[in-house]
Chain A
Amino acid sequence: MNFEKSKYKLDFVKHRKKFFIFSAAFIAAGIVLLSTLGLNLGIDFESGTTVEILAEEEVTAGEIEEEFSEIGYEPDDVVLAGDNNDIARASFIGGLSQEESLEIQSHFEEMYGSTPNVSTITPIVGEELAQNAIISVLIASVGIIIYVTIRFELLYGISAIVALFHDALFILIVFSILQLEINIPFIAAVLTIIGYSINDTIVTFDRIRENMKREETVETFEDISRIVNKSLIQTLARSINTVLTVVFAAGALLVLGGEGLRVFSLALVVGLVAGTYSSLFIAAQLWAVLKSKQMHRRRLRLEKKEEEEIEKA
């Protein structure tokens, strides 16, 4: 892959409005979905207990339910998992007491020779965790804006944060559409994507900044979009190769990593795709628009000043 400008006329900035509209529409639709359909909050956020049973062979949900009713329990939901449907996950809304869960554990241990996993959580813990996660993302955003403003300038920081929220919302929306379970590893995944998204955007911005310095005069929006296009093409091979290698790793986890990592790795893959899209089609373009507006304002101010000076004289 060699994306020399002479061979390929890739104009990333020209089509910016389409990208903005696409993302805005997706996010608007997503927010509607989030507020109506909502998220499928896992046991980490609702009061309840899940019992994960590793059976020796393939089982059906009915068998497991029957087994539970034999010892006097009625799970609210039984889901099968594992490559051969040999894992059953039963959830109890409202939660089980210590004695109850111990009784279930020992029953299935006798049956299948393997102790079931039990997790019980009260909603306070999950809520606190989600709250903490949101607060930490906000604090991290402020930190990133400050760092980027020192190393670059404010407009880069703002564009990077917009891209970051874009990516985080993207994962939330996809999980809302697919109604996949939100658990603690999911939060870890969203936070990783935020880290990755910022990493990816910064690399592109670095090149834009470098190319800005090389240009002698940057005045019009055309100048800026030329620079942005050039920078994006220069970093394109890197962007694609990097996301490919990370997708290799996250994809291997998704396909082969087993149940425990499924939600986590799916969130990562979705986030990586969104992150690459936003650093190629959203972040730099947004910066270009903001930058040209800023330059326009500065020019107006300068002209005004000059006029005033002429009047004074």
Chain B
Amino acid sequence: MASNLMDNVEDVSLGLDLQGGFEVLYEVQPLEEEGDTEINRELLTDTVSALNARIDVLGVSEPNISIEGDDRIRVQLAGVEDQEQARELLSTQARLEFRDVNDELMMDGSDLVEGGARQNFHGETNEPIVSVTVDDGSLFEEITRDISSRPPEERQLVIWLDYEEGDSFEEEIMKEDSKIVSAPRVDEIIPSRDVMISGNFTVESAQDLAGILNAGALPVELEELSLNSVGAQLGEQSMDLAVNAGFVGIALIFAYMLFYYRFMGAIAVLTLSAYIYLVLVIFNWLNAVLTLPGIAALILGVGMAVDANIITFERIKDELRSGKTVMSAFKAGGRRSLSTIMDANITTILAASVLFYFGTSAVQGFAVMLIVSILTSFLTAVFGARLLLGLWVNSRILNKKNRLFGVKESEINEL
């Protein structure tokens, strides 16, 4: 069981607070030029699929994209190595535009063959480039004819990514992190459908740009409302600390139960171990993501499971003190504690469900964990403990051995 447990622990997918990664909440806004397009469900789902296509480009294994409210999209990417690149790729609208030096639009993404962007190498310099294909062969020829006929200082075709109203070539080209991908000189007419975009590309960044162009432009503008980004090392550190704290906390609980409830404490230790194992199995099974609050809920859940044991054990001790035999004390104690445990657990589940329904992601994860813990603790602490203790009691080995239950002979009232 121990090795099986470790397998399960390894399988649990870690939240981004534990393995590094980032979470962004975007507010979806209509594109500027289209002004008053309404943000509706359809537009939101389109945006989500566009984002999904981009995340494929990034090669992230378990992205989590969800729509929140009327105009928000939450993206969680755990285990992303280059967060900077990922954030840029996600929020870029990927509108490729070709403008002249006076910012006059010559050609844009709609004039290109869909899915036709490729990473390539420049024939002479062997530098990585991105090539795109123009839909209409004569269009590019026309544009190059126009530009090459201008005065020499204006003979540039400026290739923009995400041009916005108010941007200007002169200002943007000076910036270090410019929206201008490249601004090649055009001195002659180019009679071709294939356009090469050279820039300061590495093979990787050229592949990224090609991938993003193929994934398509975003139908909306995304503004970062909130961002939570965790470096891998810090995440790992918190994970280690939380797991350690968990072990210590659980060990203390086990020691206390053994000390206080003796034989019944041993049963509790067994069923609590089963509880922890089961919670992890169910957790994997739900494909849930373990976050810091989740670990906290798991450990707190152990406390709740212990409570169910304590309620039952105290009842059994009460019955023993009143002079009953071990067997009838076990029966009466079990029966009487059941409704108490039920009432207490149902009210807590009620609270957790409300949390889940109204909470945001972190709180929701916590609520799921709490509900899973309570249901599981019910199985192990109520049925499991009862079954195990019942077997021992029915074997009659424990008859008249009240000390094993932590009840002194002097405390027992004669019937």
Contacts from A to B (Cβ < 8 Å): 2, 4, 52, 54, 87, 98-99, 101-102, 105-106, 109, 113-122, 124-125, 129, 132-133, 135-137, 139-140, 143-144, 147-148, 151, 184-185, 187-188, 191-192, 194-196, 198-200, 202-203, 206-207, 210, 234-235, 237-238, 241-242, 244-246, 248-253, 255-261, 264-265, 268
Distance, CA A261 to CA B249, complexed state (A): 14
Q: Which 10 A-B pairs have the closest CB atoms?
A: A258-B241, A252-B249, A115-B231, A246-B303, A256-B245, A136-B358, A249-B249, A248-B252, A121-B226, A114-B233
Chain B min CB distance to A192 (Å): 6
Contact A206 B358 (CB under 8 A): no
A to B CB contacts below 8 Å, 22 in the list:
A2-B408, A2-B411, A109-B231, A114-B234, A117-B231, A119-B227, A133-B358, A135-B358, A140-B351, A191-B359, A192-B366, A195-B352, A202-B347, A235-B314, A242-B310, A248-B253, A252-B246, A253-B245, A257-B242, A260-B238, A261-B238, A264-B296
Known: A54-B231, A143-B354. A259 touches B238 (CB 8 A): yes
Known: A184-B362, A253-B296, A260-B17. A199 touches B87 (CB 8 A): no
Contact B256 A238 (CB under 8 A): no
Contacts from B to A (Cβ < 8 Å): 17, 20, 25, 83-84, 87-88, 91, 177, 224-234, 237-238, 241-242, 244-246, 248-250, 252-253, 256-257, 260, 292-293, 295-297, 299-300, 302-304, 306-307, 310-311, 314, 317-318, 321, 336, 339-340, 343-348, 350-352, 354-355, 357-360, 362-363, 366, 370, 408, 411
Q: Give the residues in chain A near B344, CB-CB below 8 Å.
A: 198-200, 202-203, 206
Contact A245 B345 (CB under 8 A): no
Number of A-B residue pairs, CB cutoff 8 Å, is 248
Contact B310 A241 (CB under 8 A): yes
Distance, CA A179 to CA B115, complexed state (A): 56
Residue of A nearest to B84 (CB): A102
Known: A118-B227, A260-B242. A132 touches B234 (CB 8 A): no
Q: Give the residues in chain B near A109, CB-CB below 8 Å.
A: 231
Contact A191 B355 (CB under 8 A): yes
Residue of B nearest to A191 (CB): B355
Distance, CA A11 to CA B241, complexed state (A): 43
Contact B348 A258 (CB under 8 A): no
Contact A148 B347 (CB under 8 A): yes
**Contacting residue for B253 out of A106, A129, A245, CB 8 A:** A245
Chain A contact surface mostly: helix
Residue of A nearest to B82 (CB): A115
Contact B303 A249 (CB under 8 A): yes
Contact A132 B245 (CB under 8 A): no
**Contacting residue for B232 out of A115, A210, A258, A268, CB 8 A:** A115
Residue of A nearest to B356 (CB): A136
Contact A241 B245 (CB under 8 A): no
- Given A105-B84, A260-B242, A265-B296, output 18 extra A-B contacts at Cβ < 8 Å: A101-B227, A102-B87, A116-B231, A120-B227, A121-B225, A122-B226, A132-B358, A133-B359, A136-B355, A136-B359, A140-B355, A207-B340, A242-B307, A245-B253, A246-B307, A252-B245, A256-B244, A257-B296
Distance, CA A71 to CA B311, complexed state (A): 60
Chain B contact surface mostly: helix
Distance, CA A111 to CA B317, complexed state (A): 62
Distance, CA A87 to CA B235, complexed state (A): 13
Q: Give the residues in chain A near B292, CB-CB below 8 Å.
A: 185, 260-261, 264
Chain A min CB distance to B179 (Å): 11
Distance, CA A133 to CA B250, complexed state (A): 30
Contact A144 B350 (CB under 8 A): yes
Distance, CA A82 to CA B25, complexed state (A): 28
Contact B230 A117 (CB under 8 A): yes
**Contacting residue for B225 out of A54, A125, A238, CB 8 A:** A125
Q: Give the residues in chain B near A185, CB-CB below 8 Å.
A: 292-293, 296, 362
Distance, CA A102 to CA B252, complexed state (A): 43
Q: Give the residues in chain A near B336, CB-CB below 8 Å.
A: 210
Known: A102-B84, A115-B232, A238-B311. A54 touches B293 (CB 8 A): no
Distance, CA A194 to CA B354, complexed state (A): 12
Distance, CA A244 to CA B303, complexed state (A): 9
Distance, CA A252 to CA B245, complexed state (A): 5
Contact B411 A250 (CB under 8 A): no
Contact B411 A4 (CB under 8 A): yes
Distance, CA A241 to CA B317, complexed state (A): 14
Distance, CA A257 to CA B297, complexed state (A): 13
Contact B307 A199 (CB under 8 A): yes
Contact A199 B242 (CB under 8 A): no
Known: A114-B233, A194-B351, A198-B347. A245 touches B303 (CB 8 A): yes
